[in-house]
Structure 1
Amino acid sequence: MSFFQEPPRLGNQYDDDALLRSYLDRVLPRDMRAGLEGELRELGELGGGYFYDFQLRDRLNEPTLMQWDAWGNRVDQIEVSPLWKEAETLTAKRGLVAVAYEQKNGDRSRIHQFALNYLVQASLDIYSCPLAMTDGAARTLLSLGNQELIQRALPHLTSRDPATFWTSGQWMTERTGGSDVGLTQTVAKQSPEGWRLYGTKWFTSATTSQMALTLGRPEGNGPGGKGLAIFYVETRGADGRLNGIQINRLKDKLGTRKVPTAELTLDGTLAEPVAGLTDGIRNMSWMLNVTRTWNAMGAAWSMRRALALAKDYAKRRVQFGALLSEKPLHVDTLAGLEAEFHGGFLLAFRAVELLGKLEAKTATEEELLLQRLVTPLAKLTTGRQVVHVTSEAVESFGGAGYVEDTGLPRILADAQVLSIWEGTTNVLSLDTLRAMAKGGALEALYADAERRLGAAKDAGLKPCVTAAQDALEKARAWVMKAMENPAAVEAGARRFSLTLGRTYELALLVEHAQWCLDNGHGPKATAAARRLTRNGVDLITDMDLDDARLLVS
């Protein structure tokens, strides 16, 4: 008798996600929650049905670049995949950017926005990339207060009409450096028509966008980040031609292959300064605040998708006489991954909550301090978790997980970028130290974590509380000791930052677990907290810097 493996299937991604539903029940007022229910369920159905099926059919379609037309004219036209075209329409109609700026739910508008995206983005082939930069551009323009550019661009960036909706690029990386953008070589020169940019952008991830924010050094300015300015660029003129931009090639990447990442030459590109002619890196921080939050949320929905498929498959695949879902070792492996997802989900949404309060101007002083620290912590911690979780989830399918036409390898390949985009783990670890150096942020994090741990009443959560408190105390002691040796501070920044991030996740999970027990949502979150504790949250170890240098020499 012939045997064929059953593929994994997805259901409604809202109805099937107990963590999301319990989280929204906890953080949203009842009437607000009820008002969003229908919209969330519709997006959940699209995410697990129509768009997931579309994603599998569209697997082989990737962006193409046509540099020349049949008559020898340079046109540099990028064609994106059919799914991406439909994702753009969905974005506008469903307000996947607009919701955050309409502010109908006050400082919870960001929770609303990211809940919508969480339900559908895993099926949209990283269309979240241009959306993150579009959102970041809108927030940057508003925060820097250039009214002319706000009136020009914001109605497009936040439009619900597909005919008028724009996406935005973020063009920062050059050949000279990725994270070290102070080495930017693009020059801005004045001309009779206005400022013009000359240089090369080595990575531009939203090259098909109608506008971009980019960095350039006005002629005569000094070196480093201080001498850079942030510029607004519309990619095409009124005649439809590219605005002094040449697309040299599309990048051949490990993952995110649906994203049209390109190398650009700017050759007299008309541009407008957004906020003066200096301090470009500091002014770009408004964008990074938003895009790093998107990155953390991208990790959350990627973990969720990998685990949803793995758990469904375990109920279908028979090996050695039983379903995988009945094999203790397989169950134990998936349980460890599920706990990582729970922690990452809550940390990502904590960054979302703080961003919403910052923008709505309802944040307390402590929350403002927290936001500076939680955003880099959420990005770096979830960026590491998603690579681990998706790798293990793909492995759980055996050979099928390694075969491209199942769609499963793409989940892992796409996840790898989330520890790189918007700052690598090491860069974000150093950002964490800088956030702490401004004073008050670390104390705010400790106070918030202790409050959440203090919510625990169930005896099953007590070991989790103890483990979190011990890790926090050890991190505090490490900081005090390491301050005596600046090289040791930098060398240990990654372990310290991941310890803070994972311990804060555990504190958030303990609070949520107790709430679930008290409000009829069951013991699953408690089990996740216990398992995250066993997975380990304390990564701080005594180290020998001389040994480290010897090992990599």
Structure 2
Amino acid sequence: MNLASQENKTRGENPYTFEKFVLERENLDWYRDDVFLRKVVQKYTSERFDQVEKALIAFSPMVSKKMNKLAEQAARPENRPYMLHFDAFNKRIDRVVRPMETLQLEQLVFGEGLFASKMEPWESFVKRLLIHQLGEAGITCPLTCTHGLIALLDEFPDEDLPELQEILLHTKEGIAGEFAIGAQFMSEIQGGSDLPANLLEAVPNGKRYHLYGNKFFCSVAHADYAVVTAKISGTDKVSTFIVPSWLPGNKEQEKRNGFEINRIKWKMGTAELPTGEFQYNGAIAYPIGPKDRGIAVAVGIVLTLSRLEIGIACAGFMLRAFREASLYSDFRTVFGKKVKDYPLSASKLKSIENAAQRTTAGAFKIYNLFLELEKPLNPGINSDQPLETRKQLFNLRELVLLQKIGTTKEGAEVLREAISIFGGHGVMEEFSSLPRIFRDIVVNEQWEGPRNLLLTQIYRDLQRVADWYPAEDFVKNVLDGASRETVERFSMQLADLLQRPVLGEVSEASIEAAEEWDAFCESFFKAYQSVALQEIV
């Protein structure tokens, strides 16, 4: 080859490559390489640390590599779930079609038996935290809903309905190695989070019921069993039911249990998760819990666990955001310097790291309180337990709500900042997982009660307990470990806000009070997280 032809061949070629960054990212072990996470695990597992860490070190490479690759492939637009309403012979089957990668990921995740009796609680917690770093991926919402269904069945055993025992075994321990998947269908077109507005009708038939009506927002449309809220005929009280998707022997025939799936919704995020609209035409349902306390049962157990899990998910999202943004900032050179060596970038990375560590420490601290309390789910505010126990249960109740609204809002901010570290590449779907996780966290902000609803709930809760749990005591107990000045400042703010028209008629005064209440809850929860972080570092 002469010199001219060689010059022509190389002209226009760019030798730049991302290979070093990609290789380092692919070789990361999400648990083993996270010094901070391992430190938190050691604090909370204490004498069980060696046992738990051994399990985590064995599990983490599968999440970091195999599961991550499956999640990335499942997230491609051409792999979104869709409905196949009829088979080739015009039989209605309502098959939810999902990609092979999602099915493989589902088998790996559920096959861990994360809620089985033999699984140590902290091992399950940290494994779920690692799994959440995949994003929703079509599997973390099903996992969370299954947890809620199991807790409901554990709380209200019913020997008169052997089907419920079979469902509990299938979801919790697995049958012949297969773990069933749970869902929760509560929202209706007229109500959303307003469960008392439910119109789905439950018609008694012996010990069982038949459901008639519509559920408008049903995530995990492919589930084996669902927790469904409905009103028993002739009553105005919402009750809770367990509804199998198929009756025994019918799953293989794709014969649904008296319901149809009208369509799969097109969502901003959690796109791998099939969310549908269901029409019930006499589906067999099994009652669970007191028939006149369906909302308390659904919210106190199922939604509490979901809200708790969202906080864990946000910790996972932020840990991944910091890890990958930090790695890229150390790789990428612009204008002769690495990204991390610019003060503006360095300040963003420092802020992302602090948020990720605060959120993780806070999630562990809240879960630790959850594990320490006997029967932490569904106690209600006015229980007959000793006063100090009631206070601790109340602390947990409010912390779960504060964590849900606090971490989803900050999580979206953190993901956006992390994306900015990547520059233009940050919004490239095949380059980074962060755009997908950003959309997931925005959806999580709306799941299980949007921000305004939960801010209202917290305010009302504090008003309801004022006679036996003064605002000053609540702040002092929740911020145990904070400086005296911090406790006094938040105590004064809370006492003042509880006298303001936060929930009053719309006026300049009530709007100002509402804005201050929102800001108070955000800063108060960050103070709690900071205490949790101080206990680690």
| Equivalent position of 2:62 in the other structure | 46
| Equivalent position of 1:228 in the other structure | 238
| Equivalent position of 2:450 in the other structure | 424
- Distance in 2, Cα, partners of 1:267 & 1:152: 24
CA contact (8 A) 1:92 1:159 kept: no
Q: Which residues of structure 1 form unaligned runs of 5+?
A: 454-464, 514-553
Q: Which residues of structure 2 form unaligned runs of 5+?
A: 1-13, 378-387
Q: Deviations over 1:448-481 (max 9, x none)?
A: 344322xxxxxxxxxxx47744642442343354
Task: Kindly provide the amino acid, as one letter, of the partner of residue 18 in structure 2.
Answer: Q
- Distance in 1, Cα, partners of 2:288 & 2:37: 38
Task: Kindly provide the amino acid, as one letter, of the partner of residue 289 in structure 1.
Answer: T
Partner of 2:295: helix, strand, or coil? helix
Are the structure 2 counterparts of residues 322 and 490 from structure 1 closer, same or farther at C-alpha, using a change threshold of 3 Å?
closer
Q: Deviations over 1:226-245 (max 9, x none)?
A: x1111110111222210111
Out of 45-54 and 286-295, give the one that drifted further.
Answer: 45-54
Percent of pairs with identical residues: 24
> What TM-score comes out, normalization by structure 1 length?
0.83
Q: Does 1:413 align with 2:439?
A: yes
Are the structure 2 counterparts of residues 134 and 484 from structure 1 closer, same or farther at C-alpha, using a change threshold of 3 Å?
closer
Q: Does 1:176 align with 2:190?
A: yes
Partner of 2:228: helix, strand, or coil? strand
Query: 1:293 deviation in Å?
Result: 0.7
Provide the aligned C-alpha RMSD in A.
2.5
Are the structure 2 counterparts of residues 444 and 234 from structure 1 closer, same or farther at C-alpha, using a change threshold of 3 Å?
farther
Q: Does 1:2 align with 2:15?
A: yes
Within a 5 Å distance, the mapping from 1:397-412 to structure 2 comes to 397-406=422-431, 407-412=433-438
| Aligned counterpart for 1:329 among listed residues 344, 354, 362 | 344
Out of 49-58 and 36-45, give the one that drifted further.
Answer: 49-58
Within a 5 Å distance, the mapping from 1:261-276 to structure 2 comes to 261-276=275-290
| Equivalent position of 1:527 in the other structure | none
CA contact (8 A) 1:303 1:341 kept: yes
Are the structure 2 counterparts of residues 217 and 484 from structure 1 closer, same or farther at C-alpha, using a change threshold of 3 Å?
closer
| Aligned counterpart for 1:23 among listed residues 27, 36, 40 | 40
CA contact (8 A) 1:92 1:160 kept: no
Q: Deviations over 1:494-532 (max 9, x none)?
A: 22322321121122222333xxxxxxxxxxxxxxxxxxx
Are the structure 2 counterparts of residues 97 and 84 from structure 1 closer, same or farther at C-alpha, using a change threshold of 3 Å?
farther
- Distance in 2, Cα, partners of 1:445 & 1:93: 41
| Equivalent position of 1:512 in the other structure | 536
- Distance in 1, Cα, partners of 2:158 & 2:470: 30
| Aligned counterpart for 1:385 among listed residues 400, 405, 410 | 410
- Distance in 2, Cα, partners of 1:451 & 1:494: 22
Are the structure 2 counterparts of residues 423 and 162 from structure 1 closer, same or farther at C-alpha, using a change threshold of 3 Å?
farther
Query: 1:390 deviation in Å?
Result: 0.8
Q: Does 1:369 align with 2:394?
A: yes
CA contact (8 A) 2:479 2:527 kept: no
Task: Kindly provide the amino acid, as one letter, of the partner of residue 156 in structure 2.
Answer: L
Partner of 1:166: helix, strand, or coil? coil
Query: 1:259 deviation in Å?
Result: 0.4
Partner of 1:112: helix, strand, or coil? helix
- Distance in 2, Cα, partners of 1:85 & 1:444: 49
- Distance in 2, Cα, partners of 1:507 & 1:192: 53
- Distance in 2, Cα, partners of 1:467 & 1:335: 26
CA contact (8 A) 1:435 1:441 kept: no
- Distance in 1, Cα, partners of 2:473 & 2:400: 14
- Distance in 2, Cα, partners of 1:484 & 1:232: 38
Number of equivalenced pairs = 490
| Aligned counterpart for 1:245 among listed residues 246, 259, 269 | 259
Query: 1:120 deviation in Å?
Result: 2.6
| Aligned counterpart for 1:77 among listed residues 95, 99, 107 | 95
Task: Kindly provide the amino acid, as one letter, of the partner of residue 169 in structure 2.
Answer: P
- Distance in 2, Cα, partners of 1:173 & 1:328: 47
> What TM-score comes out, normalization by structure 2 length?
0.85
Out of 416-425 and 474-483, give the one that drifted further.
Answer: 474-483
- Distance in 1, Cα, partners of 2:397 & 2:156: 18
- Distance in 1, Cα, partners of 2:352 & 2:492: 25
Partner of 1:393: helix, strand, or coil? helix
